[in-house]
Structures are given as structure tokens and as C-alpha cells.
Chains A and B, each alone.
Chain A
Amino acid sequence: GQQVMQIPQYQHVQEGEDFTTYCNSSTTLSNIQWYKQRPGGHPVFLIQLVKSGEVKKQKRLTFQFGEAKKNSSLHITATQTTDVGTYFCAGPKAGGSYIPTFGRGTSLIVHP
């Protein structure tokens, strides 16, 4: 089925540093979603990107969808301890379904 590969698996940063996680697919995606899961919590939807080359911002978070719609990134500027958690990208399941298929996630650890 559809697979999205996500790197890195872990990222340690000092508070105030930037952070980026990358998501790649071998096939073109109709859309890509990003979720955040706090430690001990459940995934929470952040955003969906649909258009080629799309860039969306949410405060210190910047989401990009590649021109070929095969890759995406999430960039956090000036991380804070509240950013700690695992960030997942999710592409639609193969076969035209909209059911999200999740990447392995990037766990962000912010050191104060």
C-alpha cells in the first residue's frame, strides 16, 4: 500500500533552535496531512496540504508540499518546550482512499 517515509526518527534541539522533519513518497500524493502527538497523548490534526508547491504557516510552524506532490516538510522556528512530541505526516491510503497512512514520525525533544 501507500507508504510515506519520514526522517529523522528523532531530533534533539536546544530551546530556540529550529527543527525540520521531512516526508517522502515514491508516488504522487493527492494530499498530505500533518499530526502532532504529545507524549502519552493521541494524534491531533495540524494541517492538510493539497496543492503542488503549497506553503502554509501556523505561527512558528511552516508546512510545505513539494512541486511534484511527493514530498513535504514541517519546519518549526525557534522551538519551545511546548513543541515536544512526535510529528507524523500522513498520505492517503493507496487505491484512491482518503484514509490516512502514517509515516513513522519524528520525535522532537527540546532541551531547555
Chain B
Amino acid sequence: SAVISQKPSRDICQRGTSLTIQCQVDSQVTMMFWYRQQPGQSLTLIATANQGSEATYESGFVIDKFPISRPNLTFSTLTVSNMSPEDSSIYLCSVDTGSNEAFFGQGTRLTVV
């Protein structure tokens, strides 16, 4: 299993600003993932955060808008850049410890005004 600490848990941000979300895992993991979940919707994969290399982004998501860092095997950040109200959502980090079972952080509820 894995315990994931994600912060902030929520934030209200002005449009045009950026927010960096942090995800800390209590053990070393190879893969970390970032998802977006809009209210009442499913989880959409934004990108896979790779340690030592650039993140791999899914269709519809770009590095300029969602830069990701992965400085070591226990930590990752996702930045939501130049925010607009359409970016209001819940952002979740997730890890796989090797058992194909995904563990999630508590999520960051972002509101852009």
C-alpha cells in the first residue's frame, strides 16, 4: 500500500494565475499519475510523471498548461498555469506500487474565479 499526502486540499484562485499542487508518497514508486475530475464526472488522466525524464501527457493536455516535476521517487508537483474558470476541478495524484492497484491522494479542489 501507499500513503499519499496531497496539498493544498482546496484553493480559490484568480484567473490568469498559477497553482502548484504537491504530492508526497511514503514510499518510492516508479510511476506517479495526475488526474482531473470535474464535478460528478469520471477521472481523466492528465499525464504520467516519470522520474528523471519529462512527463508523458495525454491527448488534450500540454506541458505549457500543466507542467509537472518529478525530482525523486517520492514526490511530484503539477502546476495549473494561466488558470481560467474552465480549470475549476478536482486534481488527484495517484501511484501504482507495482500491484496494479492505484492509490490516490486526497485531491485538490480548485476553484478559479
Q: Which 4 A-B pairs have the closest CB atoms?
A: A42-B104, A104-B42, A102-B43, A45-B101
> Nearest CB to that of B58 among chain A residues?
A1
**How many residue pairs between the two chains, A and B, have CB atoms under 8 Å in the bound complex?**
43
| A43 near B45: Cβ-Cβ < 8 Å | no
Q: Which of A33, A43, A103, A104 has the most chain B CB atoms closer than 10 A to its own CB? A: A43
> Nearest CB to that of B90 among chain A residues?
A42
- Are A45 and B103 CB-contacts (below 8 A) given A98-B96, A99-B48? yes
> Nearest CB to that of B96 among chain A residues?
A98
Question: Contact flags (1/0) for A89-107 with B, using CB distance below 8 Å?
Answer: 0100100001111111101
Question: How many residues of chain A have a CB within 8 Å of chain B?
Answer: 22
Residues of A within 8 A of B43 (CB): 43, 88, 102
CA distance A42 to B109 in the complex (A): 11
| B42 near A100: Cβ-Cβ < 8 Å | no
Q: Which of A35, A100, A101, A107 has the most chain B CB atoms closer than 10 A to its own CB? A: A100
Interface residues of A (CB under 8 A from B): 1, 31, 33, 35, 41-45, 48, 88, 90, 93, 98-105, 107
B contact residues, range: 20 to 34
Residues of A within 8 A of B102 (CB): 33, 35, 43, 45, 90, 100
- Are A48 and B42 CB-contacts (below 8 A) given A42-B105, A99-B48? no
Residues of A within 8 A of B59 (CB): 1
| B104 near A88: Cβ-Cβ < 8 Å | no
CA distance A103 to B33 in the complex (A): 17
Indicate whether B53 reaches chain A with its CB closer than 8 angstroms: no
- Are A43 and B100 CB-contacts (below 8 A) given A88-B42, A101-B45? no
CA distance A102 to B105 in the complex (A): 16
> Nearest CB to that of B93 among chain A residues?
A42
**Which residues of chain B in 8-54 are interfacial with respect to chain A, using CB atoms and an 8 Å cutoff?**
31, 33, 40-43, 45, 48
Q: Which of A41, A42, A101 has the most chain B CB atoms closer than 10 A to its own CB? A: A42
Residues of B within 8 A of A44 (CB): 104
- Are A93 and B45 CB-contacts (below 8 A) given A42-B92, A99-B33? yes
